[in-house]
Each structure stands twice: as structure tokens, then as C-alpha cells.
Structure 1
């Protein structure tokens, strides 16, 4: 799939919004410098993004606070209608948003086409809850009293989103927060700010009052300013370990609650009675999507030793056949990773895994940059070959830490207990996958896996109605479903003696 450099450049001019801030209904340039945004597929600069400094983050928080009372006191059907209008606009502009996702972080076209629809799904789902946040009457005895609970919004929610979630991640967080009556300040990474900026513009077009949704692209300094600001009542963060620790440290200064959706190192267990051909194809395909840049992907294949050869052979053939190339091409399965720094980090992890007299595993496929012999433009972008390492040492870095690249580690097990121990044998706990035709075993293993989202026989669909969130180093709190809404409301008890 040759990279069409000229098409990328033309679409960037056509589709990308101006790289400015959205503060209330103002669109100022950022005052913390300009970020030269590089297209991951071409390696060329395609746009300039002005970054928010701490003062502008503060202005966005002030705008959100100024709008908070009006938004909170709006009739619930008014909030519902506004969110439904926003969802309709996201669906209307889905083609443009999908193109922006491909340009800003190289989401392959087929996936990019689906993500705006998922964003709209979340907005529609949470719109339906805007008038269903009910309190309860509490039975009181032996006293004669009337006791009841109220649900109310926190106020201003700071949303710090990573680059790979794009508009669907922002909609999942913001949809719940807005339905509950909060206002939001969204701080997207400078690597991928454009779909978040479009979300903010569509919110204004949908009739949400100015200040209800604010968008301030920025770096870690801007993120820290948002977390530390006394006008922010709660933080919802998606990203990596280092940033999460910094956020928790800053939030602790004001005892500010935080929701964390972090990384994963999800195990994919294949038992001997599974559909082995399907399990092998699944293993060789799913973790390579988005060039492996998905926190929920099954990046560790944990296969029974008796069927190891068959399953792994299928996975290798499947992964080797995946089309690597231009993410604008609908036929492309594996595009580039997001940046040169990401590419170099992944290659460094692979180099350490394969170095020395006792490597961490046997290289079966890939292991380096994508083959550019048929398309020299691949060498200019940040493309890596789908990679499979076999019989990996479970204690090795490559098996313990999130790679966030197109890399599959294969481990083997002898019995169910060992399979569960291997799956639970990392600090993460985001997702788990089980392939078996034994329904009792499937549910038994699902109950034993220390992960927040379990998929039996397929990929995690993550519908808007399902709660999503991890354990351990994968974070805490939930997004999606009613549980995701509850993260943005607080309960108040009222007691009246009779």
C-alpha cells in the first residue's frame, strides 16, 4: 500500500482545523509556543499547533466555571437534547473526522471511519441518562424522619486524553460528564489535538453554551496546570504510567479525585479445545491493528503447549500477510506508529529482548522497520513490521511492559492454573481473552483473571453501555456504561426529622 505523500498534504490543508485553543467561544493562539505536527505516515510536518500555557489553561477553567451553574441548572431534557444534537453533528461530519484521525495519528482508514460513530454512540447513550439521575428515599428507624439522597455534578471536569483515543475517547468521557451536569476542559496531547478541537467546535454548533466544552492543546506543563487548578473538581485521564504518577502527585495536593485509564499487557489464553485456526488468526491480527497502539489489545498469546505449533504457525502466516502501508488506503491493516520517538522506543525494547547469548524469545517474524523495498516512502514514515516473538521468558521486559507497537509475545502453559498465573503475571489488569469451547471453563477462567474487561472467544467490542476500566497498573475507575456516568456525579444525603 504505497504512501501517497501528495494526497496526505492536500488532505491536511482541507481537513485539519486551525491549531488554536477553544476557550469559551474564543479561539486564541496558544502562548506556550508552537508544535510542528508531523504526519506519522510521511514523516513530514503538516500543520502547526499553538500550545496553551498555564494562564490560558486557567482561562479555560474560568470559562468552564462561569458556564457550570447555567449548565447544571438547565432542565435535564435540555442537556439531553444538546447532547443528541452534538451526536448528530458528529455523525454528519464522520467522514471528515475519520480523515483527521488518520492524518493526526495514522489510524487506518477502515478503523477511522468507525471511531466517529462510536463517539456518537457514547453521546447518544449518555444523553439518555440526563433525565434519569434519580435519588433515593432511605428508610430510617426507629426515628421518625425523612431521609433521601440527591445526585449532583462535581462542577468542572479536567479531561486529559492521550493521542490514540481521539474523538471517541473524548466523547466517552465528556458525554458522561456533560450528561451529569458538569462542564469540561479537554487537554489533548500535542501529538493529536485536531479531532478534540473539532469536538469542541461541534459542541458550540450543537448549542451547548460557551464554556461548557473548552479545548486547550498542550504539553505536560499544561496538563499539570489543569490538574493543580483549584477550579477543577475532578480529573479523568487516559495515558501512560509516568504521566499518571505525576497527575496523582499533583492531585494529592488538593485531595482531588482522579479516574485513570492506563495501559495494558493483556493475555490471550488458547486452550486445546478451541477453534485453533480462528484463535491463530485472531492472535496474528488483533494486536497488530493500529500498529499495536491500543491499550486493550491482546499482546501476549498464552497457548497450551500441545497446540502451540499449530496456533503460532497460523498467527505468523496471518500477521505476515497483513498489508502494511498508507493509512489512507482502506485496504491497509497496519499503518505507522505515532512518532519517531515511539518507533525508536519500540525498536529499543525489541533490541534488548533479542540481545545477548540468552535472548528473551525467538524471533519468528519482523523485528525491525517495515520493508521499504517496494515503497521507499515507508522509510520516511514511522512504519514497523508486524513482529512475533516465540517462547518468551514471562519475566522479560517485553512480556511485562506495554510495548504499544505491533509486537506479539508468545508464552506456553501446561494446565489451567498455569495459564491463569501467566495471564495475571504482570502489573497490569486491563483486559483478558479466553479461547475455549468449554463454557464452564470459559466462565471459570474469566472469574479468575485479574482484569477489568474479559472477552470470551473474540475481541472486546466495548459497547457504549458496557463499563470499561482496569485493575492494578491499568488504573482505576470506569468509563462507559452507567458506571462511567457515576464517576461524574456525587451523592448528597438530606435528613429531616419529622
Structure 2
């Protein structure tokens, strides 16, 4: 039985959730053509807000506002953009508690876990890219004699970037996309998921308070028709999307009509390779808890645990013990580690995956696997052992608190199991043998590889993050993340 303090949730919602609206060119719209969406608190199952939705008309207005603002923002001295973005980052840092307070109400993120750090991550990403704003450089070529010709390049912004934001970690998605876009000189139209608009609204409010000109950041919460209107709009120069492969295919097809470039950060089914030379007292709690963080609703979480045979049985027992003691409950309770899923459909889908895995014999259910008695959308953390790597349990992104454990005997087998998936977002290696680590990292099919426990590296603004295969293409983070929003113009000047 999960007990949720409904009265406290209602009170907090009244206190901390920004007023639902669209933000277009500095104007706030509540009367919109897309109708209203009832926002349901995932922990209580109760409606806590009505969200005005953008239709194609509002998207057109937002793009027009962004194009107008681009003349100002794109033409601004880079040092001035840096100053404004630095001020923006300072304001975000001052409002870290507000982002933390929004998250449990917006999508059920636990205030004592993921939520408490999200504001810090936004501030760090904005600070990092503020520092890049006046360091974007071209280069001078030397292919010909300077007496004949001078050749150089200009690094220029695209113009207007359309950002379609994921629901599972909307604030972090904003941090990974918007600051590099702005540092490069672009303006943006943000389409948050209809279920998670509040972080984007606070983000836009703080940008305006920082002095970033109206129209540089526009927020148009909407459904699929709004997303399609944004992708196909002739005034949008590039699309950045975080979400699932099915939606990405539709976006790519729409963008192909005008050959519009896209950046996709999609799903994952990340393998975590655990070798017998590790310190199990340290590594096992990390592996078990990290896979369950954000209730398993994370694209890069290590949800496949591959364990070397000599320690396999011990690891299964230890993992089960760790997961059994992870507190499940009200996301407003600081002691809670696992909260609700985003909505009833997600809960039903995760239950279906678990039931099918049991029926098909895809693995041995060693813990959890049931719906919890609650008004919100709770499923118990679940562990399967002896998982068939060809099963849906091992191949399909579940996006719930489900961990699949599989044994291996050799390094080659571990690599083959890890790479035997259409996804390629992240991979993890747990080993104290540096020679082994150096052998494995180049062989793992993943956009990022993380070695041994430590702070969550996915949220480091200096580290490029992105996938291969079904996990998408393009990078967020580091210089590579900045270059996603720049195109290079070549210039040749002849001698007269």
C-alpha cells in the first residue's frame, strides 16, 4: 500500500506550479486554439491543472516572434550574449529549490532523489554554455599563397531552432538543448510535452527576468499537431528532439520534405558489464539503485545488468536485497526513492511487459512485478534474473523500474550481449582492471561509455551525450553540443 498526502500535493501545487500558459514573443496566451489538457498528478491520480494547448496558429506566431528576435539576438555582440546568459544562470541557481519543488508535481520525480539535483544541473549547463558564447571561432585556411587568395570560415547560427522536449526529465532536457542554442546565437521555440509544461515556463520566466529579449525563448505546449507544425514550418531551421524512435521517424519524415536537419536523442537499452574483480560492496548498490532511479524512466539507465559467471548468483541475491529496500511512495517524502510512473497508460504498459516476460519465460522473476495499491500510478521495482537476451525484456525499452540480469563467461560474450540490440545510447563497465577497460570501451556500441561508480556522468555539461543506431544521432554537451547549432560558412577573398 502506497500512502500519498493528497492535501499536501494540492497545497504544493497551488504554491509552486507556474500558471499554465503559452509564452510567445513576451506575450502570455491562455486562450488557445488547441484546447485544454487536464494535467494529472502522477502520485495522486487527480487533476491539478488545465494546460492551454497550442495549435498550428500559435506555433506560427511563435516562429514569427523567434525570427524577429533573431535579428536582435543573432546580431548581438557575443560578449553581451555571454553576460545575459551568465545572469540567466545566476537566476536559475537562485531558483534551484523551485525547480526541485515543481518536479514531483509535474511528473512524479522524487524530491529526495532526481528532483533535488535538477535545478543545479540546469544552472551548470547554462553557466557552461554562457562561457562558450564569445569563444566561437572560425579559421583561416592556407591552401593557396596569401598573395593569391585569403580563405577563412565563419561559424554562424542557424536561426530558429525548434526544440521538442521530453516528459521524463523536462528540466534536464531544457538544460541540454537551450543554452547551447542561445550561446551560438539562435532563438528557440520550445514545445514541451503536454504532461510536463511547468519547468519550461519557469525557465522562460527566468530568462526574461535576466534580460534576454522577448521572442528569443518561446514556449508552445501542445500535442502532435503542434509538433508537426513546428517541424514543417519554413521559418524553423533545425529540429532537436528527445523522445522515442517512433515519434522520431515521423519527425524525420516531416523534416525530409524541406531537407531540414534534425538532432535526435532517443531511447536506450543500456548494458552494464559487471566483472568479478569489482568491489561488490560498492558496485552492487550503485548498479541496482541507478537502474531504478527516476522510477526507471530514463533513456540511458543501465537496465540490463550483465554479470560474470563466478559472481552471478551472489550479485543476483545482493541486487534483490538492495531493490527490496528502496523506499517506494510519495515523491514529496524526502525518504522516497521510487515514485509513480508518469500516467496510467505507462503503468499499464509496464505491467504488460512484466506479465508477458513471466508468461514467455523470458527470465526468472526474483522480486516485484506487481501493481501497488495506490491512487497514483505505482508499480513495484522488479528484478528478473537469467534473462534471455533475445527476449523483449532484454531488447525493448521498458521505461519503468525493471532490471534484467544475464550471466556471461568471457569478455567476448559480454561485448556480444551488450551490442546485441538496436539501441546504442550508453554502456557501463564495472572493473578495476584498467587493461580490460581499455579493451572494452572501443568495442562497445554506444555513444557514451561510463566506467565504475561515481556521480551521474550523463548530466555533465562538458561531456558529449548521444547515441548511435536506434538511439539517434547528434550530441548534447561539450563543444560537440554547441556545434550542433552552428553551421560553417566558407569565404574566399581574391587579391585585386
Q: Larger deviation: 23-32 or 154-163? A: 23-32
Write the distance in 1 (CA, Å) between the matches of 2:119 and 2:284. Answer: 30
1:102 aligned residue: 104
Write the distance in 1 (CA, Å) between the matches of 2:93 and 2:8. Answer: 24
Residues 27-55 of structure 1 deviation map (CA, whole Å, 9 limit, x = unaligned): 11222110000000011111110100011
Write the distance in 2 (CA, Å) between the matches of 1:144 and 1:231. Answer: 39
1:113 aligned residue: 116
1:376 aligned residue: none
2:75 aligned residue: 73
* Mapping 1:141-156, distance limit 5 Å: 141=144, 144-156=148-160
1:306 aligned residue: 310
Is residue 277–residue 314 contact of structure 1 (8 Å, CA) maintained in 2? Answer: no
User: How many angstroms does 1:102 deviate by?
Assistant: 1.2
Unaligned runs of 5+ in 1: 373-378
1:23 aligned residue: 24
Write the distance in 1 (CA, Å) between the matches of 2:197 and 2:246. Answer: 20
Is residue 433–residue 458 contact of structure 1 (8 Å, CA) maintained in 2? Answer: no
* Mapping 1:186-335, distance limit 5 Å: 186-335=190-339
User: How many angstroms does 1:74 deviate by?
Assistant: 0.7
* Mapping 1:23-42, distance limit 5 Å: 23-29=24-30, 30-42=32-44
User: How many angstroms does 1:282 deviate by?
Assistant: 2.0
Residues 197-244 of structure 1 deviation map (CA, whole Å, 9 limit, x = unaligned): 111111111111110000000111111110000000000100011110
Is residue 282–residue 315 contact of structure 1 (8 Å, CA) maintained in 2? Answer: no
Q: Larger deviation: 42-51 or 455-464? A: 455-464
Residues 236-263 of structure 1 deviation map (CA, whole Å, 9 limit, x = unaligned): 1000111101100000000000000001
Q: CA RMSD in A?
A: 1.1
Write the distance in 2 (CA, Å) between the matches of 1:239 and 1:332. Answer: 26
Write the distance in 2 (CA, Å) between the matches of 1:113 and 1:419. Answer: 35
1:408 aligned residue: 403
Aligned residues: 489
In the superposition, the TM-score normalised over structure 2's length comes to: 0.97
Q: Larger deviation: 308-317 or 450-459? A: 450-459
User: How many angstroms does 1:161 deviate by?
Assistant: 0.5
Write the distance in 2 (CA, Å) between the matches of 1:420 and 1:261. Answer: 23
In the superposition, the TM-score normalised over structure 1's length comes to: 0.97
* Mapping 1:165-204, distance limit 5 Å: 165-204=169-208
Where do 4+ consecutive residues of structure 1 move more than 6 Å? none
Q: Report SS of the residue matched to 2:124.
A: helix
Q: Report SS of the residue matched to 1:17.
A: coil
Write the distance in 2 (CA, Å) between the matches of 1:284 and 1:315. Answer: 6
Q: Report SS of the residue matched to 2:51.
A: strand
1:461 aligned residue: 457
Write the distance in 2 (CA, Å) between the matches of 1:73 and 1:108. Answer: 42
Q: Larger deviation: 222-231 or 137-146? A: 137-146
Unaligned runs of 5+ in 2: none
Residues 110-144 of structure 1 deviation map (CA, whole Å, 9 limit, x = unaligned): 22121011001011100001110011000023682
Write the distance in 2 (CA, Å) between the matches of 1:107 and 1:306. Answer: 36
Q: Report SS of the residue matched to 2:164.
A: strand
1:163 aligned residue: 167
Write the distance in 1 (CA, Å) between the matches of 2:79 and 2:40. Answer: 42
Q: Report SS of the residue matched to 1:27.
A: strand
2:444 aligned residue: 449
Write the distance in 2 (CA, Å) between the matches of 1:282 and 1:363. Answer: 21
Q: Larger deviation: 161-170 or 219-228? A: 161-170
Residues 352-374 of structure 1 deviation map (CA, whole Å, 9 limit, x = unaligned): 11115xx101100001113x4xx
Write the distance in 1 (CA, Å) between the matches of 2:446 and 2:137. Answer: 30
Which of these residues, 359, 369, 387, is aligned with residue 382 of structure 2?
387
2:9 aligned residue: 8
1:478 aligned residue: 475
Which of these residues, 126, 129, 132, is aligned with residue 132 of structure 2?
129
Write the distance in 1 (CA, Å) between the matches of 2:17 and 2:33. Answer: 20
2:367 aligned residue: 365
User: How many angstroms does 1:87 deviate by?
Assistant: 0.9
Write the distance in 1 (CA, Å) between the matches of 2:270 and 2:281. Answer: 20
User: How many angstroms does 1:189 deviate by?
Assistant: 0.3
Q: Report SS of the residue matched to 2:49.
A: strand
Write the distance in 1 (CA, Å) between the matches of 2:19 and 2:229. Answer: 23
Write the distance in 2 (CA, Å) between the matches of 1:461 and 1:41. Answer: 28
Write the distance in 2 (CA, Å) between the matches of 1:424 and 1:168. Answer: 27
Q: Report SS of the residue matched to 1:493.
A: strand
User: How many angstroms does 1:165 deviate by?
Assistant: 2.1
